[in-house]
């Protein structure tokens, strides 16, 4: 909770704060919503029969068994190949190649979960220039992480500790919980050209009925729904659009938010779907002005960087959002 917090109110100048001030920005009738996903040790070191090394990043369970994986290098791989673990204690079969350097791995009699537990590494962000350690299995998690399935932490949640959560409870009551398992689509650069029909890779999510009831009650009583992270925004807005278990919802301007009124999130990179989302929430020029101020004031970007508290202004147009998610 030692990070800086750039507060972007609905109108007026931005305010420079520390993250420990977040409870002071909440109202008693607000509902804070957290993502309980837990990062899995999804990176496996494999070896081909030729002796060549292959890195596999498991992304999600595949239909018909096995797990989808991003494979590197993948150019010479062939469907049906047996790949053994670099430790020699297990092997997997490359059932199929699905394109774009991705495929499906079968684990035979072993479960993918047990192999990850014994041999996997936590997939740290690429700008963390060191090998993952066993300690990262706990360090690269939010304090409220509970449900395994993500290949990256929902980074806004990394700012929270138990003391800060206690102060939030005193201010605005018990936070609500959702799960959205962060997948590779969150980080893929956006393609060039028209984005009107673009969708993100599907990610698994769940909004418990209790959470949804609290969201509706909060909005009916005039309170704000405050999302911790873009993953929570996408989970709640997808649920409002009728999705229940998977979402490829791409939020970009103009977008009519049905649920979320404010957002705690880190700073996002150009050409990312995440920057599109925050632009839709507060307005493109508003967010770009705030980012310019952050650069001038030397805020830290990336997953372990500083954060923003964005409040949606009434002047942001809210047309009906696209159907489905």
Domain shared by 251 and 109, yes or no = no
Domain shared by 157 and 305, yes or no = yes
27 in a structural domain: yes
Q: What is the pLDDT of residue 321?
A: 42
Domain shared by 34 and 171, yes or no = yes
Domain shared by 56 and 148, yes or no = no
3-state secondary structure the chain: CCCEEEEECCCCCCEEEEHHHHHHHCCCCCEEEEECEEECCCEEEEECCCCCEEEEEEEEECCCCCEEEEEECCCCCCCCCEEEECCCCCEEEEEEEEECCEEEEECCCCCHHHHHHHHCECCCCCCCCCCCCCCHHHHCCCCCCCEEEECCCCHHHHHCCHHHHHHHHHHHCCCEEEEECCCHHHHCCCCCCCCCCCCCCCEEEECCHHHHHHHHHHHHCCCCEEEECHHHHHHHHHHHCCCCCEECCCCCCCCCCCCCCEEEEECCCCCCHHHHHHHHHHCHHHHHHHHHHHHHCCCCCCCCCCEEEEECCCCCCCCCCCCCC
Domain shared by 57 and 104, yes or no = yes
Task: Give the CATH number, domain containing residue 182.
Answer: 3.40.1780.10
Q: What is the pLDDT of residue 135?
A: 83
Q: Model-level pTM?
A: 0.91
Q: What is the pLDDT of residue 44?
A: 96
| pLDDT (tens place) for every residue of the chain, 325 residues total | 579 999 999 999 999 999 999 999 999 999 999 999 999 999 999 999 999 999 999 999 998 889 999 999 998 999 999 999 998 789 999 999 998 899 999 999 889 999 999 999 999 876 677 778 778 888 889 999 999 999 999 999 999 999 999 999 999 999 999 999 999 876 676 777 667 777 788 999 999 999 999 999 999 999 999 999 999 999 999 999 999 999 999 999 999 999 999 999 999 988 889 999 999 999 999 999 999 999 999 999 876 789 999 999 976 544 444 444 4
Q: What is the pLDDT of residue 194?
A: 66
Domain that holds residue 112: 43-119
219 in a structural domain: yes
Report the number of distinct structural domains present in the chain.
2
Q: What is the pLDDT of residue 12?
A: 94
Domain shared by 253 and 191, yes or no = yes
Task: Give the CATH number, domain containing residue 54.
Answer: 2.40.10.240
End position of a domain, from candidates 119, 148, 169: 119
């Amino acid at each position: 909770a030692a990070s800086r917090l750039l507060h972007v109110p609905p109108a007026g100048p931005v305010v420079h704060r520390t993250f420990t001030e977040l409870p002071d920005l909440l109202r008693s009738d607000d509902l804070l919503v957290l993502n309980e996903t837990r990062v899995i040790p999804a990176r496996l070191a494999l070896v081909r029969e030729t002796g060549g090394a292959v890195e596999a990043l498991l992304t999600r369970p595949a239909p018909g068994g096995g797990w989808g994986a991003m494979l590197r290098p993948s150019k010479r791989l062939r469907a049906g190949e047996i790949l053994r673990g670099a430790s020699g204690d297990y092997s997997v079969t490359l059932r199929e190649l699905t394109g774009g350097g991705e495929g499906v791995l079968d684990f035979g009699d072993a479960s993918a979960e047990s192999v990850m537990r014994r041999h996997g590494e936590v997939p740290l962000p690429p700008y963390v220039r060191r090998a993952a350690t066993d300690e990262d299995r706990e360090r690269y998690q939010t304090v409220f992480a509970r449900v395994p399935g993500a290949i990256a932490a929902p980074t806004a949640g990394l700012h929270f500790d138990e003391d800060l959560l206690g102060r939030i409870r005193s201010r605005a009551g018990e936070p609500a919980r959702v799960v959205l398992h962060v997948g590779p689509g969150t980080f893929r650069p956006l393609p060039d050209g028209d984005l009107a029909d673009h969708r993100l890779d599907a990610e698994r999510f769940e909004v418990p009925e209790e959470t949804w009831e609290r969201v509706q009650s909060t909005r009916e009583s005039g309170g704000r729904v405050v999302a911790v992270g873009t993953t929570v925004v996408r989970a709640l807005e997808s649920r409002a659009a009728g999705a229940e278990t998977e979402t490829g919802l791409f939020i970009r301007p103009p977008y009519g938010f049905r649920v979320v009124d404010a957002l705690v999130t880190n700073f996002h990179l150009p050409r990312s779907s995440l920057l599109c989302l925050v632009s839709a929430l507060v307005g493109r020029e508003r967010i770009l002005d705030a980012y310019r101020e952050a650069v001038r004031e030397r805020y830290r970007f990336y997953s372990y960087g500083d954060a923003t508290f964005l409040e949606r202004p009434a002047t942001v147009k809210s047309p009906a959002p696209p159907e489905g998610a």
